[in-house]
Amino acid sequence: MKRDFALMILVAALITGVVLLMAQPAVAQKESEQEREAKLARQARVTKEQAQETALKRAPGNVESAELEREHKRLVYSFDIRNAKGTIDEVQVSAITGKVVRVEHESKKQEAAEKYKERKEKH
């Protein structure tokens, strides 16, 4: 009986150790993502609010997501804006100059594919 109890405790400790080891990379990845975002924010000369105002002038609607990122060697704020038709316009505004650098209209099919890709990357 004591042997069974000791074995149960050993198994529980092993399971706990495995769970903790699996959680560490996710925490480290989240911290590195936050550090990356902070580094990009320090490089920006335009605020997110200013860039969003510019983006909404170019593509009126509701902002569904906003992200500061480096794309094609440019530091940009990328906004997904749901327009009156219910589709998404992706507007990128330079975080340096505050000017629109790219506008892309996403079809419903493209939007679904992008959401699928994002979900897959998170897991």
Write out the chain in H/E/C secondary structure: CHHHHHHHHHHHHHHHHHHHHHHHHHHHHHHHHHHHHHHHHHHCCCCHHHHHHHHHHHCCCEEEEEEEEEECCEEEEEEEEECCCCCEEEEEEECCCCCEEEEEEECHHHHHHHHHHHHHHHC
Residue type, 15: I
pLDDT at 104: 93
| Confidence band of 116 (pLDDT split at 50, 70, 90) | confident
Q: How far is CA 19 from CA 22, 26, 28, 102, in A?
A: 5, 12, 15, 43
| Confidence band of 33 (pLDDT split at 50, 70, 90) | confident
In CATH, what number does 44-122 get?
A: 3.10.450.40
Where along the chain do its domains lie? Answer: 1-43, 44-122
pLDDT at 83: 92
pLDDT at 36: 85
Residues 20-24, mean pLDDT to the nearest whole number: 60
Which value, in Å, is the radius of gyration of the alpha carbons in the chain?
A: 22
| Confidence band of 119 (pLDDT split at 50, 70, 90) | confident
For 61-106, the pLDDT digits (tens) are 999 999 999 999 999 999 999 999 889 999 999 999 999 999 999 8
Residues 19-28, mean pLDDT to the nearest whole number: 59
